[in-house]
């Protein structure tokens, strides 16, 4: 798999004057697997634009169970709507694949986006894509089998990773999928059986993406189609200065 540019795709799409204005207020932030960026109930103070690696937004149940609500790679940023209004998140943001982000104060980004229509539009297109994903995830969790959801999750992580090996324990995978470890183990064995992946010592190797795509539920292809349409229609909007 070719190395992707280590840059946040939204920042790359900004017009030069917007990008420069935003970057002035950003600082680099390296993060490790397991780094916690924010907890449920906290007001989002900092927004992280991912350059490399993956951040998971994880829902926490009162009995200690967790399940991933969505993941953020270089296509996005944390904090959902905190760039528009002061916002208390309901999820924990946690480093899933170590990487680097650029962070900016939420308050500053609100100020900048209120003055800059093309920046506002770009951030809103990402929020809209996230909304579609969240609308889809409840029926997916209810209807699709664990193995299909596991395959979808691996594809989504692979899309955001820099290589074919994903480091994660079965416990972590179970937490992300809201499943039992035995269920994850069975799903991994089944996907290994069709040659899609191999799994050993906390590492998943993606061996055959086409096989993985066949094993995934329809939700992966549906979300990708929405993202591709967005890609085609979200050329920077010229702004008269």
The token duo for 204 is 């998943």
Nearest by Cα to 144 from 187, 173, 181: 187
178 C-beta neighbours (distance < 10 Å), count = 17
Other residues' Cβ atoms within 10 Å of the Cβ of residue 197? 27
Any contact of residue 217 with Zn ion (CB under 5 A)? yes
The residue among 128, 110, 119 whose CA lies nearest residue 237 is: 119
Cβ proximity to Zn ion: between 83 and 153 the closer is 153
Q: Which is nearer to Zn ion, 103 or 149 (CB)?
A: 149
143-162: contacts with Zn ion (CB under 5 A) = 144
31 and 99 in contact (C-beta within 8 Å)? yes
The least distance separating Zn ion from the CB of residue 144, rounded to whole angstroms, comes to 4
Residue choice 140, 146, 151, 176 for contact with Zn ion (CB under 5 A)? 140
Cβ proximity to Zn ion: between 173 and 217 the closer is 217
Q: Does 223 bind Zn ion (CB under 5 A)?
A: no
Nearer Cβ to Zn ion (141/208):
141
The smaller minimum CB distance to Zn ion, of residues 88 and 214, is found at 214
- Alpha helices by DSSP H, 55-116: 106-115
Q: By the 8 A CB rule, do 157 and 71 touch?
A: yes
Tell me the two tokens of residue 31: 């993060």
Provide the minimum distance between the beta carbon of 218 and Zn ion in the complex, in angstroms, as a whole number: 6
- Of 60-68, 76-84, 102-110, 139-147, the segment contacting Zn ion by CB under 5 A is 139-147
Residue 119 near Zn ion by CB under 5 A: no
Give the interface with Zn ion as residue ranges (CB under 5 A).
140, 144, 217, 219
């Amino acid at each position: 798999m070719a190395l992707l540019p280590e840059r946040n795709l939204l920042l790359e799409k900004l017009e030069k004057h917007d990008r420069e204005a935003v970057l002035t207020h950003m600082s680099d932030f390296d993060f490790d697997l397991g780094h916690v960026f924010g907890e449920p109930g906290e007001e989002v103070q900092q927004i992280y634009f991912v350059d490399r690696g993956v951040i998971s937004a994880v829902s926490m149940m009162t009995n200690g169970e967790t399940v991933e609500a969505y993941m953020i790679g270089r296509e996005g940023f944390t904090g959902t709507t905190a760039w528009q209004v002061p916002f208390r998140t309901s999820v924990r943001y946690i480093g899933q694949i170590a990487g680097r982000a650029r962070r900016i104060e939420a308050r500053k980004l609100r100020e900048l986006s209120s003055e800059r229509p093309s920046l506002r539009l770009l951030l809103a297109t990402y929020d809209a894509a996230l909304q579609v994903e969240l609308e889809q995830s409840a029926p997916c969790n209810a209807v699709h089998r664990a193995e299909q959801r596991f395959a979808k999750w691996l594809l989504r992580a692979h899309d955001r990773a820099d290589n074919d090996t994903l480091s994660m324990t079965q416990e972590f995978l179970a937490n992300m999928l809201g499943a039992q470890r035995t269920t994850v183990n069975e799903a991994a064995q089944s996907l290994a059986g069709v040659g899609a992946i191999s799994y050993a010592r906390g590492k998943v190797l993606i061996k055959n993406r086409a096989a993985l795509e066949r094993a995934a539920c329809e939700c992966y292809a549906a979300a990708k189609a929405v993202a591709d349409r967005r890609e085609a229609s979200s050329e920077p909007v010229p702004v008269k200065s």
